[in-house]
Structure 1
Amino acid sequence: MILVTGATGLVGSHLVLHLVEQDQKVKALYRDENGKQKVKTVFEYYNKQELFDKIHWCHADILDIPTLEVAFQDVNYVYHCAALISFDPKKEENLRKTNIEGTQNIASFCIDFKINKLCYVSSIAALGDLAPHETIVTEECEWNPEIQHNDYAISKYGAEMEVWRAQQEGLDVVVVNPGVILGPLFWTEGSGEIYAKVKNGLPFYTKGSTGFICVNDLVKCMFLLMQSTIVNEKFILISENKTYQELVFTIAEILQVKKPKLHAGKLLTSFAWRTDWFFATFFGKKRTLTKDLASALHTKDFYSNEKIIKQLDYKFLKVDSYMAYLKETNL
């Protein structure tokens, strides 16, 4: 039996679908009926409704020990996808609790229940920092605690430390560090907000860059790693590095809407995040652009996917091709 945490999110729902397609027995964690409905919508999106009933649902929370006691019964493999994603400084405590303490719980239960293998979904945000002589981020880059990192990155790095702690205690693990994950249906969460903003007429673009991956490639790589004899290693999972300008322009073309016309430099985004803070602080508006996020939009990071390609001989789908596919399937 395979246990999937975070099964009702973008990655978890696609992973559950892929697993049942491979005739795997899956136990999926959920916190409310709305979450289960999201997963059902994903199955319907891919015309796989008949597979939805194969899921073994378990009402549990990664921060609730008694529910995890029940969830881990008869489980052999674990995919830990559950996480909180936020750049809002007010969410620091929640980030640390969910991402670090939650992962600590999962890792500890894996040891106690003698789980065969754990796959942890981390993030490129948790990767190490470039040394002066380096130009591209690899799995070998070392985390520099003297460099400023945002709260989300710190929480994911801390979560990885919990996984490696469990590995030292005898648990076989693989850690994946995906880039920005592109996928359908989750339009108000994570990267899904990009589609909605472009569709609604996003006026600005920035020239920062990062790594991107489609959710289908991500879950396929996770499954292949878990099926393999590879243990106790981490892998950067991206299909390619792209600028944010290239991404939003591609989305605009696919959606047949106007492309953003104004290049937002650091001065403009600096003003924008301060304005966002003002309205959030004094009028209760939800934060949409924080200082950390504004900084990330200008950072030009480049990531290597050579290790995963070499290990699995995997061919990633290019972002432009994936965006066209989403359009064909009623993005």
Structure 2
Amino acid sequence: MILVTGGTGLVGAHLLLQLTANESEIRAIYRNEKNIRKTQSLFQLYNKEDQFHKIRWMQGDIIEVPSLEKAFQGVTHVYHCAAQISFDPKDENKLRKINIEGTANIVNFCLDFNVSKLCHVSSIAALGDLKPGETTITEATEWNPEHYHSDYAISKYGAEMEIWRGQQEGLNVVIVNPGVIFGTGFWQQGSGLFFSAIQKGFPFYTNGSTGYVGVTDVVLIMIQLMTSDIVGERFVVIAENLSFKDIIFQIAEKLGAKKPKWEAKPWMLAIGWRLDWLLASIFNRKRRLSKYSTQSLLSSDKIANAKIKNALNFEFQRIESVVDEVVRSLQK
């Protein structure tokens, strides 16, 4: 029996789409029943609704221990996709609660129920920090606690520490660290909001860069790692490093939307996040721009993907092709 946490999110839903094509016993945790319909809509989009009915949905929450007891009965393999994503400093406690404590709970149940293997979805945000003279971030790049990190990055790094604790206690584990994930569906969250915003008109761009990957590649790698003999390893999962300017222009062109006209300079972003903080404080709304997110928009650190390509002989789908698929789906 396979258990999937976060099955109503982008990665979890696409993972279920792949797993149900071959596996017969799939269990997925949900918190709110209406969220299941988002996953069902994805199956309908691919005309795979017959596969959707293979999933045994169980109500549960990774931060509510009693709700996990029943979910783990008979489980042999766990894909832990559930996480909180936010760059709003107000969400610090929620991020630590869900991402660190929630992952600790999953690890503990895996140990208690003698689960054969756990695959954890982390993030490139949990990777290390470049030292002077270094140019490329890899799985071996060391985390510098003195370096400034977002609350989200700290929570994902803390979650990985719980995974490694599980390994030390005898649990077989693998970790994937995806970059920005593009995929169909889920337009009101994650990278789906990125496409929606560009469609409406995005006035600014920066020349910073980061790593991108298609969601199908992420879940295929997870499945291959889970069925392999590989344990006790983490893998960066990105297809390409691209500048924010290039990716925004590419998406805008394919959507037939207006391309940004102005480059957001560092001084403009510095004013922007402070103004956003002020408005969020006055009107009690969520932050749209933080100090960390502005630094990320200006960063040009390169991220390597050689380890996963060599381990699985894996070839990533080009991001341009992924964007084509997402845009076609969005336009429908």
TM-score range, shorter chain: over 0.9
Farther-moved stretch of structure 1 (113-122 vs 24-33): 24-33
Measure how far apart 1:133 and its partner are.
3.1
In the other structure, the counterpart of 1:298 is 298
Q: Which amino acid aligns with 1:144?
A: N
In the alignment, what sits opposite 1:320? 320
How much has 1:256 moved relative to structure 2? Answer: 0.7
Structure 2 match to 1:122: 122
8 Å Cα contact 1:204/1:261 also seen in 2: yes
User: Could you say what secondary structure the match of 2:310 adopts?
Assistant: helix
Matched, 1:247 2:247: yes
Kindly provide the amino acid, as one letter, of the partner of residue 148 in structure 2: Q
Range moving further from structure 2, 187-196 or 233-242: 187-196
Tell me, which stretches of 5 or more residues in structure 1 are unaligned? none
Amino acid aligned to 2:276:
D
Counting aligned pairs with the same residue, the percent is 52
Q: What is the correspondence of 1:21-60 to structure 2 with a 5 Å cutoff?
A: 21-60=21-60
Q: In structure 2, how many angstroms separate the alpha carbons of the residues matched to 1:294 and 1:239?
A: 23
Deviates more, 1:216-225 or 1:141-150: 141-150
State how far apart, in whole Å, the 1-side matches of 2:100 and 2:306 are.
Answer: 28
Q: Structure 2 length normalisation: TM-score? A: 0.98
Aligned mates of 1:312, 1:212 — CA distance in 2: 19
Contact 2:30/2:61 (<8 A) preserved: yes
The within-5 A match list for 1:66-85 is 66-85=66-85
The amino acid of 2:271's aligned partner reads: F
For residues 220-264 of structure 1, the C-alpha deviation after alignment (integer angstroms, 9 at most, x for no partner) is 000000011111100000001001111111110110111011100
Distance 1:224 1:179 in 2: 18
Aligned AA (1:50): D
Displacement of 1:131: 2.1
Farther-moved stretch of structure 1 (46-55 vs 158-167): 46-55
| TM-score normalised by structure 1 residue count | 0.98
Residue in structure 2 matched with residue 4 of structure 1 by the alignment: 4
CA distance in structure 1 between the partners assigned to 2:134 and 2:14 by the alignment: 35
Match of 1:280 in 2: 280
Separation in structure 1 between the aligned mates of residue 196 and residue 289 of structure 2, nearest angstrom: 15
- Contact preservation (8 Å) 2:185, 2:329: no
Q: 1:99 aligns to what?
A: 99
After TM superposition, the structure 1 = structure 2 runs for residues 133-212 of structure 1, keeping only pairs within 5 Å, are 133-212=133-212
Q: Distance in 1 between matches of 2:277 and 2:329?
A: 37
- What CA distance in whole angstroms lies between the structure 1 residues aligned with 2:90 and 2:288? 13
Distance of 1:285 and 1:101 partners within structure 2: 26
Q: Distance in 2 between matches of 1:82 and 1:262?
A: 36
Between stretches 179-188 and 203-212, larger displacement belongs to 179-188
Partner of 1:109: 109
For residues 157-210 of structure 1, give each alpha carbon's deviation from its aligned partner in whole angstroms, at most 9, with x where no partner exists.
Answer: 000000000000000000000001111222221222110110111100111101
Q: Structure 2: give runs of 5+ residues left out of the alignment.
A: none
- Give the Cα separation in 2 of the matches to 1:39 and 1:196: 19
Aligned pair count? Answer: 331
Larger CA deviation: 109-118 vs 278-287: 278-287
Moved more, 263-272 or 101-110: 263-272
Q: Which has the larger displacement, 71-80 or 19-28?
A: 19-28
Query: 1: CA distance between counterparts of 2:283 and 2:103?
Result: 35
8 A contact 1:205–1:248 mirrored in 2: yes
Deviations along 1:30-75, one digit per CA (max 9) or x if unpaired, are: 0111110010011111111111111010100001111100110010
Find the residue that maps to 2:118 and give its secondary structure: strand
Tell me whether 41-50 or 1-10 shows the greater mean CA deviation: 41-50
In the aligned structure 2, how far is the partner of 1:124 from the partner of 1:134?
17
> What is the Cα deviation at residue 24 of structure 1?
4.2
1:330 to partner: Cα distance? 4.4
Q: Is the 8 A contact 2:184 2:325 kept in 1?
A: no
